[in-house]
Structure 1
Amino acid sequence: MFKHYEEVINFCQEKQVQMIDFKMIDLLGRWRHLTIPASRFTPDTLKYGIGFDGSNYGYAPIEKSDMVFIPDITTAVFDSFSEVPTLSMIGDVFIIAEPDNYPFDQYPRTIANKAEEYLTSTGIADEMIIGPEYEFHVFDNVSYECKPQQTNFSIDAEQAIWNSGETEYENLGYKIPRKGGYHIAPPQDILYDLRSRMCLLFEENNIPVKYHHHEVGGPGQVEIEVELGRLREMADKTMLAKYLIKNIAFSEGKTATFMPKPLYQEAGNGMHVHMHLFKNKQPIFYDKNGYANLSKEALYFIGGLLKHAPALLALTNPSTNSYKRLVPGYEAPVSICFATSNRSAVIRIPAYAKAPEHKRFEFRSSDATCNPYLAFAAMLMAGVDGIKNKIDPMKEGFGPYDVNLYNLTPEEQAKVKALPKSLNEALDALEKDHEFLLAGGVFPKRLIEIWIETKRKEANSVEEIPHPKEFELYYDL
């Protein structure tokens, strides 16, 4: 929003801003925040930053946890959900040193910056333009508990088919069948106006919207798709978009979740990421004579993504719940391959993107439980590795598979490599295959080690808990 300190002060005076809120990203992808009175915001704030304890963010050890964050005033937005007029902005994390502080190499925003700089340094391109699609559920009630003697969760959505027989409250009968919500119209689509308000709020916060619609999942699954932008910019906007979605739903007595698979036997939430590269404002992914009008560079980029896909998923699909979505039959990919207009492939090339400047493809396995800075940077690093090493996806056996992969015979399916089936399997792949992330000093090796250690604890904690299905299967044996 702003380029200079004086612009911030003028805005605060004009809008009578009383508080300035600073948001930082923790290791797992959640925003943390700290707030100061607007009168305390001085030029020194932008020069010296504000101290905080980095160990509570999942990065630094306790004995070396003093850090500072410095606000990035270009990210400033007026917070629509604060009663006290508040200006909000993202911060970058720095290590305290003499004579000058320097950027913390494990901070996700630093990594996203380095990834963009690395791309430019290779001479391949100078911009990666990406567009995430935000799929999420809006529910009316969610409760859960996890105790030694009792484990359960309960979800409700007014429009869900399971409420068709409800008699305790007014029931007008317009429910959405299981897996029958795609582009459904009102009166079944009771979330239409809520999504429109979300999109208007996006626009007010400089997140241009392409469109919104109800998704496949009957009980409140929806999607908002936004216009494309540069890598770190879109990571910033992804964090802001999730914040806006959750808070507007909460303010209207509903709850929004980006959890990949909150409901059994219903469609899950992905975060498909469209991507293409530009050099001197010219697209490098287009070739009118190539497969699906893709250039060799585009195919090599695809080759890198697919070759490193098992390791990538540890960053792009970093929850145990992610792998409950990546199962056959729900338009979620399970096979490592590419194709045109094929939603069962990891890489889909949209047939409608015909113009050279629009020619692109999407990575379909990722979901919004990821830390977007790490996920987007990892996708870029995998693709650049593909271009540098000329990884041909056709020669590697990744396709193209312009068929419904779920309809292949078992013999044919056996020829197609499968995505990891669990978080631990993806972490195993990342342990073995992460050199492509270290190129150019983009990802620190220590961060990868911390990530694997942290995520293994998560995965193991879930695996240790008895599941209700196990009681159904085994209690009487």
Structure 2
Amino acid sequence: MADWTDKLPGAARRYLQDQRLDEVECIVSDLPGIARGKAMPASKFAKQGRFYLPNSIFYQTITGDWADAAGDEGYTEPDMILTPDFATASAAPWTADRTIQVIHDLWSQSGDPVPVAPRNVLKRVVSFYNERGWKPVVAPEMEFYLVARNVDPAKEIAPMMGRSGRPAAARQAYSMSAVDEYGPVIDDIYDFAEAQGFEIDGITQEGGAGQVEINLRHGDPVKLADEIFYFKRLIREAALRHDCFATFMAKPIEGEPGSAMHVHHSVIDTVTGQNIFSDAQGQETPEFRYFIGGLQTHLPAAIAMLAPYVNSYRRYVKDHAAPINLAWGRDNRTTGIRIPVSDPEARRVENRLSGMDCNPYLGIAGSLAAGYLGLVNKEEPSPEWRGDAYDAEEDVPRGIFSALDLFDNAADMHELLHPEFARVYSIVKQSEYDQFLQVISPWEREHLLLNV
């Protein structure tokens, strides 16, 4: 076997043990979080050290159309250089042959990181922390729905059929029997995750019909974003094996709760190895307050990254298991910013605003950027909210158009993410919104056709 396989992580090497590697998938994340790249025979991959893709993959909208975001050079589609990050090599255990996926880093032909690549955006934000002697740590939670196969966009999405022959039931949060209804899908998710070397911290039934939550262990932001990027694909593949779909839409079923990607944050001092949110006596530090203050002050400008589609804003509904404001509170799931119960060394801040439809690299980058600005600007938070935060005023944008207005005017956020990324992202999202406005909904036909 070729020498490059010696660079593979242990899980990938175990997957290939005594097996012939057939194919390698060279992949990157586009703006929506879709895996794009090239698949090739393993023998060809072994002979090449770099690969190429046109930069236009970052100008493509979720519908497959192209946004006018090429810039002054025009739409010439120059190649970007892809170099493999072998630490990300992972099995593709659902394939018929032995296939390895490898996430690639993206560089311009002049040798600079491609600023629009989501993985580079997150790396850039992390580098700002590192320059100050800080190491950000995150722990994401993934919510998604298992739904009946749906090939007709005009048809409402329905819960999947459970093994009992009945549709998955709603309002069964934390029910083990509800999870058992789609146990075969969960079994495949576990098996695929083990083959890929991913550690699942827990799986629970959420409040929606067929809604599942997977928690991941805390760790490096880029590594965890890589895992979520991989997880979305493996979960979809596991569902397809059992005649259902997995969807990460923020709000797929009318009347049911939305799906979030909650992110827990802490920050480690790289010299002492201590959590900067707790002092030597285990008490909360000013940095703990500043991080919360940064989320409150700057998350509105990042919402367009945390809630990137028109559907995303259907999740922010009062009394429906999603935040509607940026209040913070201890052990309070009605607030947008929650402080979980923990020991002092594990003190952390949970951002509950991100939707599961966000690109994990960008959702985590936006959240970390907001916290970073709070730390460096020493921004104090509002008083802790006590009680039901749904009684507070709403301060989350009500739609992608409003969110983009806030994003476009956030120069300090752009500097952390990269100004070129901010320019392209805004144009692509505006193009998607314009495309959405061309579609006439059933609600409009029902209520406006004969009544206005």
On whether the aligned pair clears a TM of 0.5, the verdict is yes
In 2, Cα distance between equivalents of 1:331 and 1:289? 35
Query: Which residue type is aligned with residue 153 of structure 1?
Result: K
Match of 1:283 among 270, 275, 293: 275
Give percent identity, aligned residues only: 27
Offset of 1:130 from its aligned partner? 0.6
> Residue 131 in 1 paired to residue 139 in 2?
yes
Offset of 1:288 from its aligned partner? 8.2
Offset of 1:31 from its aligned partner? 0.7
Q: Is the 8 A contact 2:173 2:207 kept in 1?
A: yes
Change in 2 beyond 3 A, CA 1:28/1:188: closer
- C-alpha RMSD of the superposition: 2.6
SS of residue paired to 1:370: coil
Per-residue deviation, residues 270-328 of structure 1 (Å, max 9, x unmatched): 110111011132111124888xx532101101111110121110111111111000111
Offset of 1:475 from its aligned partner? 2.9
Change in 2 beyond 3 A, CA 1:172/1:78: closer
1:174-323 residue pairs with structure 2 within 5 A? 176=169, 178=170, 180-186=171-177, 189-218=180-209, 220-280=210-270, 281-287=273-279, 293-323=283-313
Match of 1:164 in 2: none
Match of 1:94 in 2: 107
Rg larger for: 1
Match of 1:74 among 43, 64, 87: 87
Query: Which residue type is aligned with residue 175 of structure 2?
Result: I
In 2, Cα distance between equivalents of 1:312 and 1:391? 17
Match of 2:65 in 1: none
Q: Is the 8 A contact 1:3 1:73 kept in 2?
A: no
Q: Is the 8 A contact 1:143 1:155 kept in 2?
A: no
In 1, Cα distance between equivalents of 2:248 and 2:140? 13
Change in 2 beyond 3 A, CA 1:295/1:288: same
Q: Is the 8 A contact 1:270 1:367 kept in 2?
A: yes
1:152-191 residue pairs with structure 2 within 5 A? 152-158=154-160, 176=169, 178=170, 180-186=171-177, 189-191=180-182
- Show structure 1 runs of 5+ residues with no match: 146-151, 161-169
SS of residue paired to 1:276: strand
Change in 2 beyond 3 A, CA 1:265/1:187: closer
Match of 2:45 in 1: 41
Query: Which residue type is aligned with residue 397 of structure 2?
Result: P
In 2, Cα distance between equivalents of 1:173 and 1:247? 22
In 2, Cα distance between equivalents of 1:109 and 1:357? 29
- Show structure 2 runs of 5+ residues with no match: 60-68
SS of residue paired to 1:29: coil
Q: Is the 8 A contact 1:141 1:255 kept in 2?
A: yes
Change in 2 beyond 3 A, CA 1:189/1:288: farther
Match of 1:460 in 2: 434
The normalised TM-score by structure 2 is 0.89
Offset of 1:374 from its aligned partner? 1.9
1:343-422 residue pairs with structure 2 within 5 A? 343-351=333-341, 353=342, 355-394=343-382, 399-406=383-390, 408=391, 413=392, 416=393, 418-422=395-399
Match of 1:21 in 2: 25
In 2, Cα distance between equivalents of 1:62 and 1:113? 27
Q: Is the 8 A contact 1:175 1:188 kept in 2?
A: no
In 2, Cα distance between equivalents of 1:201 and 1:380? 29
Per-residue deviation, residues 344-378 of structure 1 (Å, max 9, x unmatched): 21101112x2x223111210010122122122122
> Residue 472 in 1 paired to residue 446 in 2?
yes
In 1, Cα distance between equivalents of 2:308 and 2:168? 33
Offset of 1:27 from its aligned partner? 2.0
Offset of 1:187 from its aligned partner? 6.2
Q: Is the 8 A contact 2:146 2:160 kept in 1?
A: no
Change in 2 beyond 3 A, CA 1:403/1:465: same
Change in 2 beyond 3 A, CA 1:137/1:187: closer
In 2, Cα distance between equivalents of 1:199 and 1:224? 11
In 2, Cα distance between equivalents of 1:448 and 1:137? 31
Offset of 1:402 from its aligned partner? 2.0
Offset of 1:6 from its aligned partner? 3.9
The higher relative CO (CA closer than 8 Å, separation ≥ 6) is in 2
Q: Is the 8 A contact 1:309 1:419 kept in 2?
A: no
In 1, Cα distance between equivalents of 2:32 and 2:400? 14
In 1, Cα distance between equivalents of 2:286 and 2:337? 16
Change in 2 beyond 3 A, CA 1:187/1:324: closer
Match of 1:111 in 2: 121
Offset of 1:453 from its aligned partner? 1.2
Query: Which residue type is aligned with residue 37 of structure 1?
Result: P
In 1, Cα distance between equivalents of 2:436 and 2:227? 31
> Residue 334 in 1 paired to residue 324 in 2?
yes
Query: Which residue type is aligned with residue 283 of structure 1?
Result: N
Change in 2 beyond 3 A, CA 1:417/1:468: closer
In 1, Cα distance between equivalents of 2:323 and 2:178? 31
In 1, Cα distance between equivalents of 2:167 and 2:364? 39
Offset of 1:431 from its aligned partner? 1.0
In 2, Cα distance between equivalents of 1:185 and 1:417? 34
Q: Is the 8 A contact 2:93 2:195 kept in 1?
A: no
The normalised TM-score by structure 1 is 0.84
Match of 2:66 in 1: none
Q: Is the 8 A contact 2:248 2:259 kept in 1?
A: yes
Match of 1:84 among 97, 100, 103: 97
Q: Is the 8 A contact 1:301 1:387 kept in 2?
A: yes
In 2, Cα distance between equivalents of 1:120 and 1:434? 21
Offset of 1:224 from its aligned partner? 0.9
Per-residue deviation, residues 46-102 of structure 1 (Å, max 9, x unmatched): 3xx1122221342865315222211111111121021121111101111123xxx33
Change in 2 beyond 3 A, CA 1:26/1:418: same
SS of residue paired to 1:128: strand
Offset of 1:7 from its aligned partner? 4.1
